[in-house]
Structure 1
């Protein structure tokens, strides 16, 4: 399985604070069945943001430590990019990392309470330039919970959606849980992510929530988006 959304790079954002914590998170995700993790630290426009070179270097350090620790999990670079009007130019200029550094998929985060007026424009410009937007945890956005039909409109335009696994355990509240189930039942989830920031107090948390996933859409659909897609692999 591939986890396309995690905050495992130590000291980059509000995720893992040390390499020991990184290793703890990775072990828990491996125990749940993940063999590939994309490290996606928060990235925002402005003077203070994680630059691609910094993310790539941190990813290599984590890969080395994981190998030395005897953990057999592949780590790929990426970023969770907070939407802003000039996003497409930043991507084209190499200032934002795509998932797996493939220049094909961009993980995009929206404000939790409202959808910016320029969102459709940004999505369109990314697609015109060959970049597919992947919306991080759509079930968590209040505005989309109130108007889920907007998600259907985006899906018809080729926008992809990533579900936070623990939304299915009620971690973020009843509203995200309801929308997560609705999206799964209508086959509108394309990728899953742990959105892991730290070691879980329950070492089996991710394994347990995967059972919820099997109960909702059916095992066949689960396997369809569990399988790592060739286009998401890091270029050789």
Structure 2
């Protein structure tokens, strides 16, 4: 979505990114501008309006891409009020899945209480890029607890490919091995480090884990967008994953 946060700077760049997405085999995109963080506020009605305008631009330029309005919602103490005020966009039209971003440098002390408040209301938080959160990096087993509470996770495709460094890549691999990862996101912002790498991530997942896991990640994304069930499966703690047994030898 052009000109709303640190993503596409303008309409021209947004259309070019849309073409790059199509070239990756992407047909549908959930637009998730930042909301309620320290830098950006993108209210629900504004996002819906901008999404509609961008979809028309895509049609006018004959770019075969369907876009949906969403938000990457920052975890704050005002989150429940924003939900009650109907200023939050969910990942699906049934208001079941909420894309939730923790502060990058920590997992807040009140996070568990907030997750409980959300899940008790039938809302499933989908934690955005936990592999890049410093709190989970320091104690990856905390992620197990959040999934056990009912959260899902959305891993950044470029994290899995090493764009954010070897440590983030290794943690992403372990999260997947522990069955604590559920979907990939492009998190595309530009044409450099934060570009579309979905095809490469799915290819690597098929090769290094198996095709079935890659298919499951893809199906989970569809299920979330449609508001359907996502199977949790047999989850493990990251600390139980032995590096020497992960994905064989490279």
> Is 1:223 the counterpart of 2:215 in the alignment?
yes
- Alignment of 1:65 with 2:93, yes or no, is no
Cross-structure match for 2:226: 233
Equivalents in 2 of 1:204, 1:128: separation in Å? 35
Classify the secondary structure of the residue corresponding to 1:99: coil
Q: Is residue 146 from structure 1 mapped to residue 162 from structure 2 by the alignment? A: no
- The equivalent residue for 1:40 is 32
Q: CA-to-partner distance for each residue in 1:12-39, whole Å, 9 max, x for gaps? A: 1111111111111122122212211000
The residue that corresponds to 1:5 in the other structure is none
Quick one: structure 1 residues 106 and 70, their matched pair in 2 at CA, closer, same or farther if it must change by over 3 Å? same
2:179 corresponds, among 179, 187, 203, to 187
* Residue 167 (structure 2) pairs with residue 175 (structure 1): yes
Give ranges in structure 1 of 5+ residues lacking alignment.
Answer: 1-8
CA distance in 1, matches of 2:94, 2:15: 25
Change (3 A) 1:83 1:201: closer
Q: Structure 1 residues 101 and 55, CA, compared in 2 at 3 Å: closer, same or farther?
A: farther
Query: TM-score normalised to the size of structure 1?
Result: 0.88
Taking structure 1 as reference, are residues 210 and 48 closer, same or farther at Cα in structure 2, changes over 3 Å only? closer
Contact kept? 2:188, 2:195, Cα under 8 Å: no
Alignment of 1:104 onto 2:58:
no
Query: For the residues of structure 1 that align with 2:125 and 2:139, how far apart are their CA atoms?
Result: 20
Question: Structure 1 CA distance, aligned partners of 2:126 and 2:168?
Answer: 18
Q: Which runs of 5+ in 2 are unaligned?
A: 228-250
Give RMSD over aligned pairs: 2.2
- Does 19-28 or 208-217 show the bigger shift? 208-217
Distance 1:101 1:199, change over 3 A: farther
Tell which structure's C-alpha radius of gyration is larger. Answer: 2
Compute the displacement of 1:146 (Å): 1.7
Which structure has more RCO (C-alpha within 8 Å, separation ≥ 6)?
1
Q: 2:6 aligns with which of 14, 20, 23?
A: 14
Residue number in structure 2 paired with 1:123:
115
Matching of residue 54 in structure 1 with residue 49 in structure 2 = no
In the alignment, is the contact (CA less than 8 A) between 1:181 and 1:216 conserved in 2?
A: no
Tell me if the contact between 1:167 and 1:177 (Cα under 8 Å) persists in the aligned partners: yes
- Normalised by the size of structure 2, how large is the TM-score? 0.83
CA distance in 2, matches of 1:203, 1:177: 16
- Alpha-carbon distance in 2 for matches of 1:93, 1:226: 32
Aligned equivalent of 1:4: none
Instruction: State the number of aligned residues.
Output: 226
